[in-house]
Structure 1
Amino acid sequence: MSVPAGGPPEAETHVCVRHPDRPTGLRCTRCDRPACPQCLREAPVGMQCVDCVSAGARSTPRARVRPSTPVVVPTLIAVNVAVFVLTVLDAGSVADNASGSVFAAAALAPVQVAGGGWWRLVTSGFLHIGLLHLVFNMIALWFIGRDVELVLGRLRFSVLYGVSLLGGSTAVMLFGAPGGEVAGASGAIFGLMGALLVLLRRMQLPMTSALVIVGLNVVLSLTVPGISLLGHLGGLVVGVVVAAGMVHGPARSRPAAGLVVAGAVVAVLLVAIVLRDLSFGSIVCDTATACRRGA
């Protein structure tokens, strides 16, 4: 076999793009520029220069680290328990805590809201009539809320809970008896139930158990005296709508889109409340419970 004159061919040599004084026969597998060994890094495919490695790191989405333990749910439980203790001390009775002035000033009745007590739309969601009412709601809040919080994160969970609470209060305001007082966290908790159904469907997980829980609670709302069906259904519907806005849509815009949906729902609820308020005409409340039409 003959050998070309001048000996065997030499490998093509260039200089490193970052170090012009260093000849090299190596190249970046991503940008194909020559690079010395000091400027190359091991990559999933071949070796890449440090510039391409940095560019790839910037363009790769970072996974969000979700909290591993619920924080908002225990905080809400603590607030509800504290408010219950306050009403017990005020009324001087555990069983009849709703007879005190604190409870009367914070419970929800449409005519009282129309008389200027707008805070009742929120404060009523932290009141409970008797110890059993509190215990049942807090158990439901813990077992349902903790999973929803861990999936949505603390901010979106807080928004969901607050808007669901307002949704339950709005349903009572629109369709409830003008002078009928209601209280409890059930509207917000039903919103969490609705959100749980949305999340299970989105993650393609079995929904049977969740559907049974929601169905049983709706049946109890229909059959047990003293339970506000309107507040429950209002919270449930709003919870489904807000949760759907939070978990559907383009991945990159999903967090912001969920908050936009929640804001839009709040705006609709507030408009409905204002229109209902106007339908009462002029209402004057002399005390927390005594309201009459103004002159």
Structure 2
Amino acid sequence: MNQPPNPPAYPPQAALPGCWWHPNRPTGLSCARCGRPACPDCLREAPVGFQCTDCVHAGSQQTRQQHRQYQNSGMGTRTIAGARPTSSVVVTITLLAVNVLIYLITALQAKSLDNSNASIDLAGAMRPAITLVGGEWWRIFTSGFVHFGIIHIAANMFSLWMMGRALEQVFGKARYTALYFVSMLGASVAVLLFDNPFQVSGGASGALFGLMGCYAVIVVKLKLNPSWLLVSLAINAYITFSIPGISILAHVGGLITGALVAVAILYAPDRDRVRWQVIGVSIIVVALIGLSVYRGVVLSSLVS
């Protein structure tokens, strides 16, 4: 009978080191911070890997010390946008109230919830030809506060309330206000550049798409689950392309502008952060105004 071959000889394994705190416990684990061997009982989950109890305690003391120094510097705790944390949503409430008030006035003028022929709406709605050639530049912003019908105002104000509250708390009043109105400017500029010069449009949806663009940048920066954002984009895209009379260009312009403003705010260098944020947003505003002026010059030359 054949004998089975001898099993291969393996070199003896080196003995595992003992835990730094329990030398009688061999372990193959180690602290991610100091590198000392540690048994499972001596390791704690930390922001970066698993650390021993000594390093976790030292890290906590260092964090508290840095927090005290930060508080004593007068800057206080800041959000990812560099704003002071707040539960106030006064800007969102004010924007919502102004939009609703203007709609109620136009509904009273038209004596109907279908207020499309109200004089305030007609005077404030976006009309590219009149805005650029006629010099009625106020329509760039007033068009963001006029709505046509109860469904239009209700849908936009619901979106403003849902998105605006969280963004205002993260961005603070000043940055959030800048985000909203620069997004509105971007939406209007897109209409001025590419839409039919005689098309009438209005509504807060351009600025609201800017808030959505900002959310997209936050999701990327913080590596959040994008499911909610994708669902919202899909729903709004369906509404945009399926309901007649909605300005697709305003939505796209607002979305892109809001994302650019968010990048300027969230990715500003930590040193002199506010100054760099102001510079970044100002560059966007100047570029949008320049495009509008150029478009106005072109249209004026064609008319003359």
Report the TM-score, using the length of structure 1 for normalisation.
0.74
Contact residue 156 and residue 259 of structure 1 kept, 8 A? no
1:131 corresponds in structure 2 to 150
- Show the counterpart of 2:116: 98
Residue in structure 2 matching 1:244, options 263, 276, 288: 263
| Number of residue pairs aligned between Structure 1 and Structure 2 | 233
After TM superposition, give the deviation of residue 270 of structure 1 in Å.
Answer: 0.5
**CA distance in structure 1 between the aligned counterparts of 2:147 and 2:230, rounded to whole angstroms:** 26
Runs of 4+ in 1 over 4 A off after TM superposition: 54-61
Q: Deviations over 1:176-229 (max 9, x none)?
A: 001000000000000000101111222222111112211321232122211100
SS of match in other structure, 1:281: helix
The residue that corresponds to 1:256 in the other structure is 275
Unaligned runs of 5+ in 1: 1-43, 46-53, 284-292
Match of 1:176 among 170, 195, 203: 195
What's the C-alpha RMSD, in Å, of the aligned pairs?
2.2
Secondary structure in 1 matching 2:116: helix
Task: Find the counterpart in structure 2 of residue 195 from structure 1.
Answer: 214
Please tell me whether Structure 1 or Structure 2 has the larger radius of gyration of its CA atoms: 1
Tell me, yes or no, if structure 1 residue 109 matches structure 2 residue 127: yes
Distance across 2 between alignment mates of 1:123 and 1:262: 21
Change (3 A) 1:263 1:55: closer
Aligned partners of 1:61 and 1:84: how far apart in 2?
41
Residues 1:222 and 2:236 are matched in the alignment: no
**Inter-CA distance 62–131: structure 2 relative to 1 (3 Å threshold):** same
Question: C-alpha distance in 2, partners of 1:99/1:69?
Answer: 36
- Following the alignment from structure 1 to structure 2, what is the Cα–Cα distance between the partners of residues 165 and 177? 19
Distance across 1 between alignment mates of 2:296 and 2:195: 13
Taking only the aligned residue pairs, the percentage that are identical comes to 38
Superposed CA deviations along residues 93-148 of structure 1, whole A, max 9, x for unmatched, are 211x1202211111101101021110000000000000110000000011011111
> How far apart, in 2, do the equivalents of 1:253 and 1:266 lie?
20
C-alpha distance in 1, partners of 2:233/2:104? 29
Q: Distance in 2 between matches of 1:253 and 1:199?
A: 21
Counterpart-to-counterpart distance in 1, 2:175 and 2:102 = 24
Aligned counterparts of 1:190 and 1:140: Cα–Cα separation in 2: 10
CA 1:282/1:147 → structure 2, altered by over 3 Å: closer, same or farther?
Answer: same
Contact 1:197 1:211 in 2 (8 A): no
* AA of the residue aligned to 1:62: G
Pair 133,57 (structure 1): closer, same or farther in 2 beyond 3 Å: closer
1:290 matched residue in structure 2: none
CA contact (8 A) 2:77 2:85 kept: no
